Amino acid sequence: MFRAKVNRNLSFLSTNSSRTTTTHGQHYQYLQCSKLPTLYFQRSLPRLPIPLLENTCQRFLAAVQPLLTPQEHGRTQQVVEQFRQGIGMELHAKLKAHDAENKHTSYISQPWFDMYLADRAPLPLNYNPLLVMKSDTRPEYQQQVVRATNVIISSLRFWRSLQADLLEPEVYHMNAKKSDTASYRRWMKVAPKAFATYASYAFKAFPLDMSQYNRLFGTSRIPRLGKDELVQSPESKHILVMRRGHMYAVNVLDSSGYIESPSVILGRLKAVLRLDSEREAAAVPLGVLTASQRDEWAKSRANFVLNPKNADLLQSEVDAALFCVCLDAEEDGIYNENSQEPLLKHLLAGKAQNRWFDKSISLLISADGTTAINFEHSWGDGVAVLRYFNELYKDTLQQPFVSTETVHTPAEGDFGNVRPINFEFDEVTKSAVEQAYAKNAAIVDSLDMHLLRYSHLNKLTCKQYGLSPDSIIQLSFQLAHRQAFDGYVGSYESCSTSAFRHGRTETMRPCTTATRDFCEAVLQPARSKPSAGELRAMIDKCSKVHGQLTKEAAMGQGFDRHLFALRQTAQREGLPIPELYETDAYQRINNNIISTSTLGSDALLAGSFGPVVKNGFGIGYSIQNEFAGAIVTTYKQQAEGKLFIDSLESAFDKICAVIKESSSSSSGNKENK
């Protein structure tokens, strides 16, 4: 939905060393200098609506129908009706009243933060997603320390633009050629701020909430017993650099807050590599603890900071860092087109020795320059991270400030700007690190990952046959599961509600009666199978239903977040949890066996996350110009990932065959007429 357009015209790039820059000049210090202030639309964004209780109940019943027998669905209808006429009405009224008292935000924002921060599960695999960036095909910019320097500079340019209100406002343009123009910006400039969003709607341009952006940098999740907290240090001038488990605080902004020159930042990273080469890998890699169960990490941290030196270093150098850069060693793996799984598993969760999963953003740079982002999820969602990810890719491609030929400014011995973080470890911490390493290693070893790249289905074929790409992919997931495991399960697709102030996400339920009917029909024996034309009509119905559900979710008219908020209201008010939440239907639909996420980005090489339930499938997918791709994660002995991915390929084959056959039949009929 939020697709970046990356300008691939690179002809103006110098093929020699770094660009000539005036380091304090606007061109170097800022990624963008928007005519409209970054938060120009924020004040006028509409509030996230609370759906009508009756609509939520109807949508819930429709969503659970394909998962239930007629008898089960009948019983569920009775419980839902009792809820709608009874306690549901009371909770809905209380939620509406609470929302009216907090007009500065959305009804879901705080409960959603609380949900994330109170969960005690480890961050890797359970929450932190992975985005892998396409590599730079020019060797002089792909080398590890060069790539790291350029992504650091571009990140800082993004951050400084955001802080200075110069980053372009996030706007979804229905027709970018008509609205993403200088004329549009001139009209918006004269629109009163209180109505700017509605003026933008006239151009079919939809401003998005940007309240999460200020937590992109300088933010850390701090483990606490029962519920974590987020801390921010937006005025920091250093980043955290990790190498073989060692940690370094590296200044990247000068005392006035300006980005240091490219040669200086390059020199400081090289100083880190030099320091690291002079010692063994960290004997006690503290970062492993950030992969722990959250209460365990909270206890370990509480003990660790009893030492005042550790407390000061942890707070000032680690928690306060703008972001984390993990420079991985050769033994951690490099990208192999023919065998991507080992590196992707390492980047997603890995051994955790060279990670600090609590940072809002971690840039992972492999020995071959492969670059990825692993991000902590509680502070924000994909819209903000994807914008940053796309801008980073575009800027490093169009304006890399250093290359392998750049002469760096030496920083060896400059311990004011390159500070090794040397903690003092007691036996309790050493033991905690060992235990955390063993637990994380066992979890990662239990993870399976399978990839599918299907060339017969891509953007061009979807356009050629008038198909909705996302709907077709989601239908394929349903068919794949039905073929492999003979049933239908709770399925999850995330949809952003960032068109509203402090919107987060809404759940779209892609397992529908329409997808079930198609799956049953296409799997019938040949003698009783509907014709290709009839099957194509069923595919079109699936797409129509899917499109309607997506539209409802994006407009804040789903049912999941409303039911979640009603349950939270009961807890806040000290009321009993309604029977609805104890039904098999509610439990079944929220046991997300199939959990999916897609990111539309020309910058993306791969995206992945762990299963959200032990016996589930975590599916990161995308449709590119050349292929449809999926990365499926499962836990061994819990779910059969290989069986699912093989079934998915078969599902693609079946659906493509129907589309082509129905198209041929339709063309033949037209010719005969």
Is the model's pLDDT at 342 over the cut of 90?
yes
- Of 167, 68, 50, the C-alpha closest to 589 is 68
CATH code where residue 416 lies: 3.30.559.70
pLDDT at 7: 34
Tell me: the pLDDT tens digits for 413-456? 999 999 999 999 999 999 999 999 999 999 999 999 999 999 99
DSSP string, 155-169: HHHHHHHHHTT-SPP
**Whether 298 and 381 share a structural domain:** yes
- Of 360, 341, 371, the C-alpha closest to 144 is 371
Helix spans in 191-293 (H): 196-201, 262-277
DSSP string, 5-26: ------TTS-SSSSPP--TTSH
**Whether 365 and 487 share a structural domain:** no
Token pair for residue 270?
């090289």
Question: Which residue do the tokens 């539309």 mark?
Answer: 600
In a domain, 42, yes or no: no
Tell me the HSE value of 345 on the side-chain side, using a 13 A CA sphere.
Answer: 20
Token pair for residue 602?
């020309």
Last residue of a domain, one of 410, 445, 480: 445
In a domain, 369, yes or no: yes
Is the model's pLDDT at 25 over the cut of 90?
no
**Whether 264 and 373 share a structural domain:** yes
- Of 61, 54, 52, the C-alpha closest to 585 is 61
In a domain, 48, yes or no: no
Quickly state the pLDDT bin for 51 (edges 50, 70, 90).
very high
Is the model's pLDDT at 16 over the cut of 70?
no
Tell me: the pLDDT tens digits for 625-644? 889 999 999 999 999 999 99
Is the model's pLDDT at 24 over the cut of 90?
no
User: How many domains in the chain?
Assistant: 3
∠ Cα 118 120 125 (to 5°): 115
Token pair for residue 282?
């960290």
Q: What share of the chain is helix, strand, coil (3-state, %, to 5)?
A: 45, 15, 40
Quickly state the pLDDT bin for 600 (edges 50, 70, 90).
confident
Residues present in the chain in total? 673
- Of 468, 480, 482, the C-alpha closest to 541 is 468
In a domain, 33, yes or no: no
Report the distance separating Cα 83 and Cα 80, nearest Å: 5
In a domain, 24, yes or no: no
Report the distance separating Cα 99 and Cα 110, nearest Å: 11
In a domain, 22, yes or no: no
CATH code where residue 176 lies: 1.20.1280.180
Question: Which residue do the tokens 């590196």 mark?
Answer: 343
Contact 132, 365 (CB under 8 A): no
**Whether 412 and 477 share a structural domain:** no
b/e string for 390-409 if b means 16 or more Cβ within 10 A? Answer: bbbbbbbbebbbbbeebebb
Q: Which residues are catalytic?
A: 377
Report the distance separating Cα 430 and Cα 282, nearest Å: 12
pLDDT at 14: 34
Tell me the HSE value of 531 on the side-chain side, using a 13 A CA sphere.
Answer: 8
- Secondary structure class of 279 (helix, strand, coil): coil
**Residue 485, domain extent:** 53-105+447-672
**Whether 607 and 555 share a structural domain:** yes
**Whether 602 and 659 share a structural domain:** yes
**Whether 192 and 228 share a structural domain:** no
**Whether 73 and 131 share a structural domain:** no
In a domain, 17, yes or no: no
- pTM, rounded to two decimals: 0.93
Q: Between these two residues, 1 and 302, which has the higher pLDDT value?
A: 302
Is the model's pLDDT at 672 over the cut of 80?
no
b/e string for 479-505 if b means 16 or more Cβ within 10 A? Answer: bbbbbbeeebbbbbbbbbbbbbbbbbb
**Whether 460 and 498 share a structural domain:** yes
Report the distance separating Cα 623 and Cα 147, nearest Å: 27
**Whether 394 and 497 share a structural domain:** no
**Whether 586 and 632 share a structural domain:** yes
- Kindly list the strands in the beta sheet with 505-508, ordered across the sheet, starting from the edge strand earlier in the chain: 447-454, 628-635, 617-623, 594-598, 491-496, 505-508
Backbone φ/ψ region at 350: left (φ over 0), alpha (ψ -120 to 50), beta: left
**Whether 268 and 367 share a structural domain:** yes
Orientation of helix 532-554 relative to helix 513-522, angle to 10°: 160
In a domain, 426, yes or no: yes
The mean per-residue pLDDT over the stretch 3-12 comes to 32
Tell me: the pLDDT tens digits for 483-519? 999 999 999 999 999 999 999 999 999 999 999 999 9
Residues 6+ away with beta carbon under 8 Å from 418: 248, 249, 250, 251, 268, 271, 272, 275, 411
Token pair for residue 346?
């390492």
Contact 207, 41 (CB under 8 A): yes
CATH code where residue 557 lies: 3.30.559.10
Quickly state the pLDDT bin for 11 (edges 50, 70, 90).
very low
pLDDT at 670: 54
Tell me: the pLDDT tens digits for 99-143? 999 999 999 999 999 999 999 999 999 999 999 999 999 999 999
E runs forming strands in 472-525:
491-496, 505-508
Last residue of a domain, one of 402, 428, 445: 445
Last residue of a domain, one of 402, 425, 445: 445
Report the distance separating Cα 319 and Cα 144, nearest Å: 25
pLDDT at 475: 98
